[in-house]
Copies of this chain bind each other. A is one copy, B any other.
Amino acid sequence: VASGKRTLRAMDDDDLRWPTIGRDPGNDYRVFRTAFLRSRHPRSGAEKRFSLIECDDWVNVIALTPADDVVLLRQYRAGNDRIMLEIPGGMIDRGEAPDVAAARELREETGYAATTWRPLGRVSPNPALFANTLHSFLALDATQVGPPSPDAGEVLSVETVPLAEVTAMLRDGRIDHALVIAAFHHLMLATGDALRRP
């Protein structure tokens, strides 16, 4: 039985990487496009074809009111055919800065605005298939400044929930959207919590 750091860490990045030798277009689905990579492993010479999904970058926002309520959305998601409880977010427009997109999505989807913004972190939503990045932001002292103005065809319900109740929702699965969880995870790490042995 192999053990020890030397055996386990044998491979460096050049052993792991599959350099691209060709790229073929797939199909355009408007909200995403498919593509194919042809890759060859430098050590083995093996060739492999990867199917990819191309998508613009995404943002999402944890917006806290002065009372420490979180601004949440309920909306129908066709992917899993469920009404999901989420935080505001969406696609970054071409050429738009992530923080500008975050403020825009918060305003459009909920009618809320905030003056104090902090970046929470960036994640790869699914690097096996997607090239894109999700940028998460924290908005403090958020207040409703007008009605929501969702995109045509977006039907959204806005509700505010105390931060402590959101923890319960994350724990019991009422909030189970992985990209929403990623944002709250960064908030939790930013406030100092750490992993412990269960």
A: contact size bracket: 35 or more
Copies of this chain, whole number: 2
B-chain residues with CB within 8 Å of residue A32 when the two chains form the complex = 51, 53, 129
Bound Cα distance from A178 to B124, whole angstroms: 6
Check: A155 CB closer than 8 A to any chain B CB.
Answer: yes
In the complex, which residues of chain B have a beta carbon less than 8 angstroms from the beta carbon of A155?
A: 11, 15-16, 18, 41
Residues of B within 8 A of A173 (CB): 121-122
Q: Is A128 an interface residue (CB 8 A)?
A: yes
Partner of A126, one of B126, B131, B157: B126
Interface status of A114 (Cβ within 8 A of chain B): no
Residues B48 and A153 in contact, CB atoms below 8 Å apart: yes
**B18 near A78 (CB under 8 angstroms)?**
yes
